[in-house]
Amino acid sequence: MPVLSDLPVRDPADEPFIRLSNIRKTYPGVVALSDFSMEVRAGEVIGIVGENGAGKSTLMKILGGVTQPDQGLIEVDGLAHDAFTVEDSMKAGIAFVHQELNLFDNLDVAANVFIGREPRKNGFLKLIDSKKLNETVQPLLDRLGATFGPTTPVSRLSLAQQQMVEIAKALSIRSRLVILDEPTSSLPLAETGKLLEVIAGLKAQGIAVIFISHRLHEIVEACDRVLVLRDGCLVDTLEGNEINHDTMVRLMVGRDLKVVYASPATARGDVALRANRVRTTAYPHQEIELDLHKGEILGLAGLVGSGRTELARVLFGIDSALGGSILLNGDEIHFASAAEAIEAKVFLVPEDRKGAGLLLDLTIAENVSLPNLRVYVRNLLVSRSRESAQAEKSRDNLDIRAPGVSIRARTLSGGNQQKVVLAKWLAMDPQVIIFDEPTRGIDIGAKSEIYKLMRELSDRGVAVLMISSDMEEVIGVSDRVAVMHEGRISGILARSAASEENILRLAVGKTV
Amino acid sequence: MLKKDIGLLVLIIVVGAVVAIINPRFLSPINIANTANLVGLFGIFAIGQGFVIITGGIELSVGSVIALLGVIFIDLIANQGVPWPVAILLVIIIGFVIGLIHGLLVTRLKLQPFVVTLCGLLIYRGIARFYTHDATAGFPFGVNFPTLEWLLTGRTDFLALATGDSLHSLPLPHSFVFMLALAVVMWFVLHRSVFGRHLYAVGKNEEAARYSGIRTTRVIVSAYIICAVLTAIAAIFFAMYTRSILPSGHGNFYELYAIAAAVLGGFSLRGGEGSIVGVVLGAILLQILQNLVNLLGIPSSLNFAVMGTVILIGAIADQQFARFREQRGRMRSRVSETADG
């Protein structure tokens, strides 16, 4: 652990304290990183962007000391390391905050910050010194501007607050460099702002931050310097006002093309699904009124926790509504289970892809056939040849990149897993499809393909409802945008009026 | 057949061969027929247990159900004068209801299967003892059911039957034959039917199964019913095999034999894993171990200790093997992960 006498206000022109030179790392058949150099100075925020596969993870593994580079030099405070190990990385003051939080939600904040390093009382039992624990954690939380205390149970914290706990953990070991790996991908809009403030705070205290994100406008907002990676190479370093969305995408993809949002080819049709004064468990006293038309993509924006996912669960029959009625093509329906919704051709692509969308241990073919298994039965038994025939067809149609349809869904990338979830429903002639955060954690290439599929569906007359917290996606993809605020629809915007500002105003309960 | 099943089969053959070399009586027709009978009896309800374990549940009341339904069955035919086919039907219906109740408590009231079936274990044992006033239930002198006895405890030389007595083989106990036939049917149900696929899906990830339109409650309740009905059938076989039932001791620990057979057969207590071949092989191995204790002159008090040791060794070997495979897999996936990360 580095011994810092205090936390001086550093001059940003300080010498870099971490320097990577000409790093090269190869794996059999792949050059993961080649000729990569970077410097980290105290108090700077460095953005790293690149598509999946660009070499970000390898770089992180090298900085964490988990993987050793084949070539190149790592210097910390001017001292070169032959082999940069996990221990060296910790000594250098490098701390990671991962996308997936590693907190114990049955413990309080202070216990999480000092997990495994609890201060002990003297005495026979060596009990945990809770007083000292809380006294040590409080100042860390103050530095981050946290509104919760050391004894708050983690289960009561929002996602952004939980990330603050992770950052407090990093501060508690006196880190000089905090690496945030996709910290905002699961954060709602309002909380994202909070995290960006925390980053600014760290910067002001002279702590360097490496910020990895797929959400480029956050990079623009937060970073002093952006490194763009493509195919294991550093393609460019952007500074100051060179940092903008289009430049980054161009450099990442290697061409000028960005996500293409297609406009609808046909006018929208009749109402397919109508929520009439529906109440859900999220806000039992608020009524939801929503019409979803055939042939449209209706975006459903709002803050996380505004009741969007609960509405989706009710529409799909997972939960029952507390009140109100749901009409499908004008007829009132009461789905007692997802099975009944599926029979009525109302489908959901859930938010939690790995936990609810797919069975990771089943093969692609088994996942695709699962909701409609009876169709694949011959002589009372499930016909594997029919299953794989359908799966092959889906694989071609959706361009699922997998060596075969009999491999487990677990081994696929996020984008391909999402395509398998979609394949289930596309094989069954959908009428209504609800997407809940359809492209979370998916790279730009696969995102575009999923948008294209959504548009193809709506052009075929399918009614598409898309819940999304990604502003860019909501505005780009939707034909209309409904915004939810605390359990009710606070406004519906036509495509032309769907600006970021309007959506945000509605999301926080104001009017447009 | 899975690799795991083949491993278990090899183990059975090795153990069998060692026992046979030390004591050739292991392969005598009478010993084989006796062991096969026990394999049949225990196999029937072990298969049922397997269905529950695949859902991620557990059924602890098996032994008590065997005692309760056993005394009821004997009472019905010996004392109440109920015709035995009707008695069989009644006992199976009671089994069905027990399974239904367990399943509903687990799914509707969201109680943990361990708790539900532990209470079942206590309740059914208590009722069985109360039913007979703690006395042994048995057949009065001179009361006989020749057809029933032949059906459930008889032996048939199927080769002789098929060739019109010109060729002879070992006469097989009917309990064993019934268990084999049941295993074949259940193999198709579990490994090839829609219900079987749903069962695996629910066991692997109930949430995802529900989102895929599987009626998970129905699937889980069905598993408990299958288990209890097969246990009821086993209870009838046991009643006719032992002919007298001491309700405080009959069937004690039988649930653990079933769970042990499933675990040996590659079932995961977390659910979603296991095969019919595995649980049948597990039941066979357990009976061979019991038999081995007798034949090798090991004090019979060590019976459970031997069984426990073998299961433990099996579990450790399986775990180590899985770890080895995972490590190999991780080496591969680390490379591919880096290829896209």
Give chain A's domains with CATH numbers. 23-93+176-183+205-258 (3.40.50.300), 101-175 (no CATH), 271-345+429-512 (3.40.50.300), 354-428 (no CATH)
A490 or B3, greater pLDDT: A490
Three-state DSSP state, A104: coil
Average pLDDT rounded to a whole number, residues A62-78: 90
Cβ proximity of A53 and B340 under 8 Å: yes
Query: What token pair was written down for A229?
Result: 């990676």
Give the position of tokens 């075969």.
A404
pLDDT for residue A12 is more than 80: no
Beta strands of A62-171 (E only): which ranges? 71-76, 79-81, 94-97
Query: What token pair was written down for A60?
Result: 């992180």
Angstrom distances, CA of residue A317 to CA of A194, A282, B218: 35, 15, 16
pLDDT band at A507 (very low <50, low <70, confident <90, very high): confident
Q: Whole-number mean pLDDT of chain B?
A: 91
pLDDT for residue B333 is more than 70: no
> Do A339 and B213 count as a contact with CB atoms less than 8 A apart?
yes
pLDDT tens per residue across span B195-219: 999 999 999 999 999 999 999 999 9
Report d(CA A446, CA B61) in Å as an integer: 51
Residue A99 is given by DSSP the state S
Question: Residue length, chain A?
Answer: 512
Measure A102 CA to nearest chain B CA, in Å: 21
CB nearest A28 (choices: B205, B272, B335): B335
> Do B204 and A370 count as a contact with CB atoms less than 8 A apart?
no
Average pLDDT rounded to a whole number, residues B309-330: 78
Query: How would DSSP label each residue in A372-432?
Result: GGGGGEETTEE-HHHHHHHHHHHHHHHT---S-TTSBGGGS-HHHHHHHHHHHHHTT--SE
Q: String of b and e for A352-372 (b: at least 16 CB within 10 Å)? A: ebeebbbbbbbbbbbbbbbbb
What is the pLDDT at residue A313?
94
The model's pTM is 0.80
Amino acid identity of A30?
A: V
> Do A380 and B193 count as a contact with CB atoms less than 8 A apart?
yes
Q: String of b and e for A115-141 (b: at least 16 CB within 10 Å)? A: eeebeeeeeeeeeebbeebbebbbebb
pLDDT band at A126 (very low <50, low <70, confident <90, very high): confident
Average pLDDT rounded to a whole number, residues B119-130: 97
> Do B194 and A374 count as a contact with CB atoms less than 8 A apart?
yes
What is the pLDDT at residue A13?
53
CB nearest A339 (choices: B192, B214, B338): B214
> Do A58 and B341 count as a contact with CB atoms less than 8 A apart?
yes
Cβ proximity of B116 and B105 under 8 Å: yes
> Do A381 and B201 count as a contact with CB atoms less than 8 A apart?
no
Q: What angle, 0 to 180 degrees and rounded to 10, lies between the N-to-C axes of helices B303-340 and B276-295?
A: 150
Is the minimum CB–CB distance between B268 and chain A shorter than 8 Å? no
* Maximal CA-CA distance, chain A: 78
pLDDT band at A190 (very low <50, low <70, confident <90, very high): low
Other beta carbons within 10 angstroms of residue A420's beta carbon come to: 26
Cβ proximity of B293 and B303 under 8 Å: yes
**Chain B hits for A343, Cβ within 8 Å:** 213
Average pLDDT rounded to a whole number, residues A437-463: 89
Give the position of tokens 């979603």.
B272
- Residue ranges of the domains in chain B? 40-277
Cβ proximity of A435 and A465 under 8 Å: yes
**Contact residues for B251 (Cβ-Cβ < 8 A; gap 6+):** B62, B63, B64, B65, B66, B67, B70, B235, B238
Beta strands of chain B (E only): which ranges? 137-138, 155-156, 172-173, 244-245
What is the pLDDT at residue A119?
85
> Do A357 and B340 count as a contact with CB atoms less than 8 A apart?
no
Chain centroid offset of residue A204 CA: 27
Interface mutation vs chain B, best among A26, A99, A362, most B CBs within 10 Å: A362
Measure B61 CA to nearest chain A CA, in Å: 31
pLDDT for residue B339 is more than 50: no
Interface residues of A toward B, Cβ cutoff 8 Å, are 27-30, 32, 52-53, 56-58, 316, 318, 337-339, 341-343, 348, 350, 352, 355-362, 366-367, 370-374, 377, 380-382, 411, 413, 424
Report d(CA B179, CA B46) in Å as an integer: 10
Average pLDDT rounded to a whole number, residues B217-239: 98
pLDDT for residue B2 is more than 80: no
Q: String of b and e for A40-79 (b: at least 16 CB within 10 Å)? A: bbbbbbbbbbbbbbbbbbbbbbbbbbebebeebebbbeee
Number of continuous H segments (helices) and E segments (strands) in chain A: 16, 22
> Do A370 and B188 count as a contact with CB atoms less than 8 A apart?
no
Average pLDDT rounded to a whole number, residues A210-235: 87
pLDDT for residue B72 is more than 70: yes
Q: What angle, 0 to 180 degrees and rounded to 10, lies between the N-to-C axes of helices B276-295 and B29-54?
A: 140
What is the pLDDT at residue B329?
60
pLDDT tens per residue across span B282-295: 999 999 999 999 89
pLDDT tens per residue across span A430-441: 999 999 999 887
Three-state DSSP state, A56: helix
Q: Whole-number mean pLDDT of chain A?
A: 87
> Do A58 and B333 count as a contact with CB atoms less than 8 A apart?
no
Find residue A228's DSSP bridge partners. A49, A236
Average pLDDT rounded to a whole number, residues B20-37: 94
Cβ proximity of B60 and B125 under 8 Å: no
Beta strands of A260-382 (E only): which ranges? 271-279, 288-293, 297-302, 323-328, 331-333, 346-349, 377-378, 381-382
pLDDT band at B331 (very low <50, low <70, confident <90, very high): low
Report d(CA B65, CA B125) in Å as an integer: 7
> Do A339 and B215 count as a contact with CB atoms less than 8 A apart?
yes
Percentage of chain A exceeding pLDDT 90: 46
pLDDT for residue A227 is more than 80: yes
What is the pLDDT at residue B106?
97
What ipTM describes this predicted complex?
0.86
Percentage of chain B exceeding pLDDT 90: 76
> Do A413 and B340 count as a contact with CB atoms less than 8 A apart?
yes
What is the pLDDT at residue B64?
98
Measure A139 CA to nearest chain B CA, in Å: 37
Percentage of chain A exceeding pLDDT 70: 94
Chain centroid offset of residue A221 CA: 18
Q: Which of these ranges, A178-192, A202-216, A418-432, B265-279, has the smallest mean pLDDT? A: A178-192
Question: Nearest residue on chain B to A50, judged by CA atoms?
Answer: B341
Query: What token pair was written down for A389?
Result: 């025939």
pLDDT for residue B135 is more than 80: yes
The sheet with strand A94-97 has its strands ordered as A94-97, A177-181, A208-212, A45-49, A225-230, A233-239
**Chain B hits for A355, Cβ within 8 Å:** 205, 207-208
What is the pLDDT at residue A5?
44
Measure A150 CA to nearest chain B CA, in Å: 34
What is the pLDDT at residue A186?
62
What is the pLDDT at residue B59?
97
> Do B341 and A57 count as a contact with CB atoms less than 8 A apart?
yes
What is the pLDDT at residue A188?
65
Angstrom distances, CA of residue A302 to CA of A306, A353, A484, A487: 6, 20, 5, 10
Query: What token pair was written down for A18?
Result: 């971490």
Is the minimum CB–CB distance between B218 and chain A shorter than 8 Å? no
**Chain A hits for B333, Cβ within 8 Å:** 411
Q: What angle, 0 to 180 degrees and rounded to 10, lies between the N-to-C axes of helices B62-74 and B216-242?
A: 50
Give the position of tokens 């080819």.
A265
CA distance from start to end of chain B: 37
Measure B209 CA to nearest chain A CA, in Å: 7
Three-state DSSP state, A351: coil
Q: Give phi and psi for A205, each to the nearest 5.
A: -90, 10
**Chain A hits for B211, Cβ within 8 Å:** 316, 318, 338, 348, 350, 356-357
Instruction: Report which of B18, B125, B108, B115 is spatially closest to residue B66, judged by C-alpha positions.
Output: B125
Instruction: Report which of B57, B46, B2, B107 is spatially closest to residue B272, judged by C-alpha positions.
Output: B57
pLDDT band at A259 (very low <50, low <70, confident <90, very high): low
What is the pLDDT at residue B332?
52
> Do A356 and B211 count as a contact with CB atoms less than 8 A apart?
yes
pLDDT band at B340 (very low <50, low <70, confident <90, very high): very low
**Chain B hits for A424, Cβ within 8 Å:** 212
Interface mutation vs chain B, best among A382, A416, A435, most B CBs within 10 Å: A382
Give the position of tokens 């790279």.
A443
Strands A323-328, A331-333: parallel, antiparallel or unpaired by DSSP? antiparallel
CB nearest B272 (choices: A53, A338, A361): A361
Report d(CA A19, CA A62) in Å as an integer: 12
Question: Nearest residue on chain B to A29, judged by CA atoms?
Answer: B339
Cβ proximity of B238 and B91 under 8 Å: no
Average pLDDT rounded to a whole number, residues A474-482: 93
Interface mutation vs chain A, best among B195, B211, B216, most A CBs within 10 Å: B211
| Angle at the Cα of B214 from the Cα atoms of B210 and B215, rounded to 5 degrees | 95
Q: What share of chain A is helix, strand, coil (3-state, %, to 5)?
A: 35, 25, 40
Is the minimum CB–CB distance between B330 and chain A shorter than 8 Å? no
Q: Which of these ranges, B198-207, B253-262, B331-340, has the smallest mean pLDDT? A: B331-340
Other beta carbons within 10 angstroms of residue B129's beta carbon come to: 18
Measure A26 CA to nearest chain B CA, in Å: 9
> Do A373 and B194 count as a contact with CB atoms less than 8 A apart?
yes
Angstrom distances, CA of residue B189 to CA of B192, B194, B275: 6, 8, 11
What is the pLDDT at residue A185?
64
Measure B196 CA to nearest chain A CA, in Å: 10
Highest mean pLDDT among A3-7, A166-170, A359-363, B141-145: A359-363
Amino acid identity of A299?
A: G
What is the pLDDT at residue B341?
34
Interface mutation vs chain B, best among A314, A316, A370, most B CBs within 10 Å: A370
> Do A359 and B212 count as a contact with CB atoms less than 8 A apart?
yes
CB nearest B208 (choices: A30, A341, A356): A356
Angstrom distances, CA of residue B11 to CA of B79, B255, B261: 46, 23, 14
The alpha-helical segments, DSSP class H, found in A264-383 are: 308-315, 338-343, 364-369
**Chain A hits for B338, Cβ within 8 Å:** 27, 30, 32, 57-58
pLDDT band at B160 (very low <50, low <70, confident <90, very high): confident
How many Cα atoms are found within 13 Å in the side-chain-facing hemisphere of B110? Answer: 1
pLDDT band at B175 (very low <50, low <70, confident <90, very high): very high
Report d(CA A441, CA A445) in Å as an integer: 12
Measure B37 CA to nearest chain A CA, in Å: 31
Instruction: Report which of B162, B183, B160, B180 is spatially closest to residue B170, judged by C-alpha positions.
Output: B160
Is the minimum CB–CB distance between B155 and chain A shorter than 8 Å? no
Query: What token pair was written down for A172?
Result: 């508690």
Cβ proximity of A234 and A228 under 8 Å: yes
pLDDT for residue B337 is more than 70: no
Cβ proximity of A50 and A250 under 8 Å: no
A-B C-beta contacts closer than 8 Å: 93
pLDDT for residue A16 is more than 60: yes
> Do A373 and B198 count as a contact with CB atoms less than 8 A apart?
yes
Q: Give phi and psi for A229, each to the nearest 5.
A: -105, 140
What is the pLDDT at residue A4?
45
Chain centroid offset of residue A60 CA: 18
pLDDT tens per residue across span A71-80: 999 999 988 8
Angstrom distances, CA of residue A411 to CA of A102, A132, A266, B70: 22, 45, 38, 50
